[in-house]
Amino acid sequence: MKPNNFAMRDWHLEHVEKVVLRYMKGISPDASSFEKRNFKKYSTISNCSKQIEYDIKHGVTVQEVIELMNKIRNDASYSEVRQNQDAVQRLDELERQLNSPKKGDW
């Protein structure tokens, strides 16, 4: 019997999707002060990329992240999110952030 090194890989893949969508959508104009504070703390581009990198360490492949971003970009089920031009720009920005070389990679 082969051990499962990444038992929660599916959960981490879903988490990547949630993180990307939350960052893309942004915050609603009528958000409470608590929601604004949490958004400012947890939904920055650097925090999103850190969360995605954490999920990659726990079994999600880079290829799966790229496929997910392409799915968000092209799939009809995400058309409502793509209607906002700022959301598409945030997705581009997040892709650039994830593709840029990290401090210890060179």
Residue 88: partners with Cβ closer than 8 Å, 6 or more residues away: 24, 73, 82
- Does residue 47 carry a pLDDT above 80? yes
Q: By percentage, how much of the chain surpasses pLDDT 90?
A: 53
What integer is the mean pLDDT of 30-45? Answer: 88
- Which tops the pLDDT comparison, 4 or 43? 43
- Two tokens at 98? 């994830």
What span, in angstroms and rounded, lies between the C-alpha atoms of 65 and 17? 8
Residue 100: CA atoms inside 13 Å, Cβ hemisphere, count?
12
Residues with Cβ within 8 Å of 84's Cβ and at least 6 positions away in sequence, in order, are 25, 26
pLDDT at res. 8? 85
Amino acid at 70: N
Task: Return d(Cα 68, Cα 64) in angstroms, integer.
Answer: 6
